[in-house]
Chains A and B, each alone.
Chain A
Amino acid sequence: MAYVPLADRDHEMEMHHPHTWIGKYVWSQDHKVIAIQYGSIAIFTGVVGLVLSLMFRMQLGFPDTVDFVDPNFYYQAITMHGMIMVVYFLTALFLGGFGNYLVPLMCGARDMVFPFMNMLSVWVFLLSVIILMASFFVGGGPTGAGWTLYPPQTAMEGTPGHDMGIILMLVSLAVFIVAFTMGGLNYVVTILQYRCRGLTMMRLPLSIWGIFVATVLGLFAFPALLVAAIMMLFDTLLGTSFFMPAVIEAGTALDHNGGSPILFQHLFWFFGHPEVYIVALPAFGLVSDVLSVHARKNIFGYRMMVWAIIAIGGLSFIVWAHHMYVSGMNPYFGFFFATTTLIIAVPTALKVYNWVLTLWEGDIRMNVPMYFAIGFIFTFIHGGLTGLFLGNVVIDLPLSDTYFVIAHFHMVMGVSPILVLYAAIYHWYPKMSGRMFHEGMAKVHFWLTFLGAYAIYLPMHYLGFLGVPRRYYALGTTDFIPASAQDLNATITIAALIVGISQILFFINIIWSLKYGKKADPNPWGAASLEWQTPDTPPVHGNWGDKLPTVYRWAYDYSVPGAHEDFIPQNTPESEEPTVSDEHFDPDQDKSLADV
């Protein structure tokens, strides 16, 4: 039997229509509800991660002023902050949240291919978060081995959470990977198989390309973390020696012998580096769409953008050991990874040029999402450039494990993706909620976040050059660190507190606007992609009413010469293309637009 698309199956609307409140909002199989569930859980964990960071920042800026931030808690806080932000917040919000919301809508489908598995995915994700959070409440607390969980440190007596904490962390990661795999298979197969009529892969918005390639990366990279987690669980629980070398702890030899900690590092970073792009690629995609819509111009170099996403995805699997230059590796090995690292900068830089060229001579509308999108270009260039320093072995060696590294990766994969998330939330909020947010409040939120992020991370580069090591509870007295470094640390902490607290503005805005916001137009930004063309706002179950859309063009027909409006929706047939009548047609204007 040949493949029958969802749209052509019998009783398609009856497939999983919810009939009760619980079926509609709790055990929902609707991708939009699941997206909001995923997003809410991810944002909740993100807030926990943020609060933890403010606590350890207090210790760094104003040592010993907060009683409960003792060395143990400090290490637990930095560890949990890192893991939460990278895996449970960014990955889950980009792919579980935006992936779920946008994939079926932008593909013109009624839902994901496997709605039941999609529902399982979000509940298993919640389970993984509960297991992770449970580690705060067990004896010994959560693990404090650093988010990279390097053995043998994870299992040593002196490391906080070396007993239950690390076990819960590893189990939670394994459960998360199961959830991600169920969700990820859905996104990939939906994008490949359930696009509506006329929607070829090359007519997809870049958001979908970003989500698609990132999901494929996730599906192939998370197994490395799973393998590492399983073997470490065996080492911790059953006493095997996959990673644990012979260790003498306080005069007593532990029961381990001969294991290879470096093997863990390879496995961890074979996951860890693609993970950077699992977070970055959806951000690249979403920001491309936001920039294009608000600049009223087609994205510059669409094909190049797609190729760059695919190239970055492929290359991201052969750069992992640049995280391990100080592990004592063979210098030729380091040279290879430095080379691949510099090569991956090429498609990445290409994307940056294309974003800037999309803005060039565009009819830029400074709407709130555009603030965040342009802010992203700044922070991403900044974080990307410091990556070129760290990618080179000789420069990395002195900078490794200093604040320079912290500044680099927070700019490139902390601040940048978060700015895109804000851009995307503000951009799609009118479609998701049917209401407009408060613009003034959102702009204040932007400036505090954007300038605050610079106030936090720019000084950290300088601290890194001074040689201030990362992960230290207290600096003590060292010859090479001047006393004034502490003043800088205090300043950073104050900036971090301001940025942290200013995020409340965002929450007030989106919650307040749900009820009191101005009613949103179905397509307030004048966007051409499919999700803005739904018959209802917010879209109802099944998304498209009686008939699935048909796509006649790509997603970037903005400011088309001769067209009546400055955008043509993807589902507008050529024959119905609204054009200006002859007497209003100005050939000069048309020519100038064509030149653009």
Chain B
Amino acid sequence: MSLFKNVTTKPWERKGVIGGMRPEGAFDTEAERVALSFFLIIASVVFSLFTVSYYIRMELPDWQPLSEPAQLWFNTGLLVASSILFQWARNIVARGEQRNLYTALIGAGVFAILFIVGQLVTWQSLQSAGYYMTSNPANAFYYLMTGLHAVHLLGGLWVWSKSAIRLISGAEAKDLKLSIELCALYWHFLLLVWLVLFALLSNT
């Protein structure tokens, strides 16, 4: 039932059971997926507010644009690879297969870890080039936003590690299906956030 139809019904008129023999949720899907979707909206709000703050702060006279290190392109590649592997893992469990699942799932996590290491290396190189956090707001935003993105990814890796351990200890594909599907969704979301952040940071 559409939302509009839903909120225009007159509940005092109709008596009796509405719906089938089973209770129906507002969305025909797992509660976990609904919760994750809400969480993604919340995370989007957080990143959007940082972006808006970035634009407002940028207008002030002391702003000196930061030239982002070229290594970020390489890091982006790592995160894209991680996302692709997650999608592969997702497709495998969707077909109910087990073959290659191990490679796909573990590979996805490893590439994500490599991405975080890559980000730390760029931090290091910026620091050694004298781009400290306190020297300019552009630098501060760079460290803050990339850091926040990495923290979100670490949260995802915590869930990934639980699935990976279950897979290693012999869980079947169908038991891991939901977990892997949600992880893949979350990873794609973080990839998208990263692409937006990367575009924002390198164009300003």
B61 in the interface (beta carbon within 8 A): yes
Residue in chain A with minimal CB distance to B42: A219
- A197 and B38 in contact, given A223-B49, A258-B61, A260-B60 (Cβ under 8 angstroms): no
Contact A227 B46 (CB under 8 A): yes
B74 in the interface (beta carbon within 8 A): no
Mask for B73-86, Cβ within 8 A of A = 1, else 0? 00000000000000
Mask for A65-80, Cβ within 8 A of B = 1, else 0? 0000000000000000
A50 in the interface (beta carbon within 8 A): no
Residue from the list B10, B28, B140 in contact with A2, Cβ < 8 A? B28
Mask for A203-221, Cβ within 8 A of B = 1, else 0? 1000000000000000110
Mask for A533-558, Cβ within 8 A of B = 1, else 0? 00000000000000010111110110
Chain B residues contacting A226 (CB-CB under 8 Å) are 46
> Whole-angstrom distance from the CB of B24 to the nearest CB of chain A?
8
Bound complex: CA of A263 vs CA of B60, how far in Å? 11
B166 in the interface (beta carbon within 8 A): no
Contact A239 B34 (CB under 8 A): no
Chain A residues contacting B18 (CB-CB under 8 Å) are 198, 200, 203
Residue in chain A with minimal CB distance to B17: A198
Chain A residues contacting B9 (CB-CB under 8 Å) are 200, 202
> Whole-angstrom distance from the CB of B195 to the nearest CB of chain A?
21
Chain A contact residue count (CB 8 A cutoff) = 63
Residue from the list A5, A224, A238, A240 in contact with B49, Cβ < 8 A? A224
Bound complex: CA of A257 vs CA of B19, how far in Å? 62
Contact A220 B12 (CB under 8 A): no
Which chain B residues in 157-204 approach chain A with CB under 8 Å?
A: 177
> Whole-angstrom distance from the CB of B29 to the nearest CB of chain A?
5
* Binding-face segment, B50-58, B103-111, B119-127: B50-58
- Chain B's interface size range is 35 or more
Chain A residues contacting B177 (CB-CB under 8 Å) are 1
- A197 and B19 in contact, given A5-B25, A556-B12 (Cβ under 8 angstroms): yes
> Whole-angstrom distance from the CB of A292 to the nearest CB of chain B?
12
Interface centre among B41, B45, B133 (most CB of A within 10 A): B45
A298 in the interface (beta carbon within 8 A): yes
A189 in the interface (beta carbon within 8 A): yes
Contact A194 B61 (CB under 8 A): no
Chain B residues contacting A573 (CB-CB under 8 Å) are 16
- A259 and B137 in contact, given A181-B42, A202-B9, A550-B17 (Cβ under 8 angstroms): yes
- A194 and B49 in contact, given A234-B140, A259-B137, A306-B7 (Cβ under 8 angstroms): no
Residue from the list B7, B29, B134, B140 in contact with A202, Cβ < 8 A? B7
A365 in the interface (beta carbon within 8 A): no
Chain B residues contacting A8 (CB-CB under 8 Å) are 22
Bound complex: CA of A226 vs CA of B12, how far in Å? 42
Bound complex: CA of A266 vs CA of B55, how far in Å? 13
Contact A220 B57 (CB under 8 A): no
Bound complex: CA of A372 vs CA of B120, how far in Å? 58
Contact B22 A223 (CB under 8 A): no
Contact B12 A554 (CB under 8 A): yes
Bound complex: CA of A554 vs CA of B28, how far in Å? 23
Residue from the list A7, A189, A223, A227 in contact with B38, Cβ < 8 A? A189
Chain B residues contacting A263 (CB-CB under 8 Å) are 53, 56-57
> Whole-angstrom distance from the CB of B155 to the nearest CB of chain A?
11
Contact B11 A203 (CB under 8 A): yes
Contact A257 B62 (CB under 8 A): yes
Chain B residues contacting A201 (CB-CB under 8 Å) are 6-7, 26
Chain A residues contacting B56 (CB-CB under 8 Å) are 260, 263, 266
A231 in the interface (beta carbon within 8 A): yes
A199 in the interface (beta carbon within 8 A): yes
- A194 and B31 in contact, given A227-B49, A240-B140, A267-B53 (Cβ under 8 angstroms): yes
Contact A185 B28 (CB under 8 A): no
A230 in the interface (beta carbon within 8 A): yes
- A185 and B53 in contact, given A200-B9, A231-B144, A552-B15 (Cβ under 8 angstroms): no
- A267 and B49 in contact, given A5-B23, A196-B23, A240-B133 (Cβ under 8 angstroms): yes
Measured CB to CB, the residues of B under 8 A from A are 6-12, 15-19, 21-31, 34-35, 38-39, 41-42, 45-46, 49-50, 53, 56-57, 60-63, 133-134, 137, 140, 144, 148, 177
Going nearest first, the 4 A-B pairs with the smallest beta carbon separation are A258-B62, A193-B25, A554-B11, A240-B140
Instruction: Known pairs A189-B31, A194-B23, A258-B61; list 4 more (Cβ under 8 Å).
Output: A3-B30, A185-B39, A188-B38, A238-B134
Q: Could you list some 28 contacts between A and B, CB below 8 A? A: A3-B31, A5-B22, A181-B42, A192-B34, A193-B27, A194-B25, A195-B25, A197-B17, A198-B23, A199-B23, A200-B19, A202-B6, A220-B41, A223-B45, A227-B46, A230-B148, A234-B133, A240-B134, A240-B137, A242-B57, A257-B62, A259-B60, A267-B49, A302-B11, A303-B10, A306-B7, A552-B16, A573-B16
